[in-house]
Amino acid sequence: MLGLLESGPRHGYDLKRAFDERFGHDRPLHYGQVYSTMSRLLKNGLVEVDGIEAGGGPDRKRYAITDAGVTDVAGWLARPEKPEPYLQSTLYTKVVLALLTGRDAGDLLDGQRAEHLRLMRELTKRKQGGDLADQLICDHALFHLEADLRWLELTAARLDKLASEVRP
Average pLDDT of 17-38? 88
Per-residue pLDDT tens for 1-14? 999 999 999 999 89
- Give the pLDDT score at 84: 77
Percent of residues, the chain, with pLDDT higher than 70: 97
Alpha helices in 6-104 (DSSP H): 12-22, 31-43, 67-78, 90-100
Q: What is the mean pLDDT of the chain?
A: 91
Mean pLDDT of 50-62: 81
How do residues 63-91 score in pLDDT, each as one tens digit? Answer: 999 999 999 999 999 998 888 777 668 89
Residue 121 pLDDT greater than 90, yes or no: yes
Distance CA 18, CA 89 (A): 34
In angstroms, the first-to-last Cα distance of the chain is 52
Quick one: what percent of the chain has pLDDT higher than 90? Answer: 73
List 64's β-bridge partners, or say none.
Answer: 48
